[in-house]
Amino acid sequence: MIYALVVMSSPASGQAALSAARFAQGVLARGHSIRRVFFLDAGTANGSAAATFPQDEVDRLQPWVELAEQHRVELILCITSALRYGMLDDTEAGRHGKAAATIHPAFTISGLGQLVDAAACADRLVTFGG
């Protein structure tokens, strides 16, 4: 089965984003595939390269990075939401006159077309947060 995920919660606003990452790991462990993970609204904060978590908390960035690096899962930040939350790749940072990118390299910024494509190609679209 092919899944697509939508994450709409920031890593700091409860468990939805972490649950999404764990769900993705479980899906892959059972032999299914993930077409794409699309981060929308506050969910774009999951891609922050500067995210640092207290020692007594779970690192909420690392599970996403592992999905991208080990399983080649696409992690897409909605461009409109990303800009609102200050999430920039090198291209957007340059275009908007900012000094540096703010997203982790495992993430890509793109448009809603990526979500539409993921939903069209997947057997299941699962949303976390809201």
The per-residue pLDDT for 112 is: 96
Alpha-helix runs per DSSP H in the chain: 16-29, 62-71, 79-84, 90-95, 113-121
Domain with 47 in it: 2-128
Confidence category of residue 39, pLDDT binned at 50, 70, 90 = very high
What average pLDDT does the segment 43-48 reach? 96
Residues known to be catalytic: 78
Please tell me the total count of domains within the chain. Answer: 1
Tokens representing residue 100 in the block = 């540096």
Q: What is the mean pLDDT of the chain?
A: 94
Q: Say if CB 15 and CB 129 are below 8 A apart.
A: no
CATH of the domain at 81: 3.40.1260.10
What is this structure's pTM? 0.94
- Provide mean pLDDT across the span 24-47: 97
Contact 118, 35 (CB under 8 A): yes
Interval 90-112: pLDDT, tens: 999 999 999 999 999 999 999 99
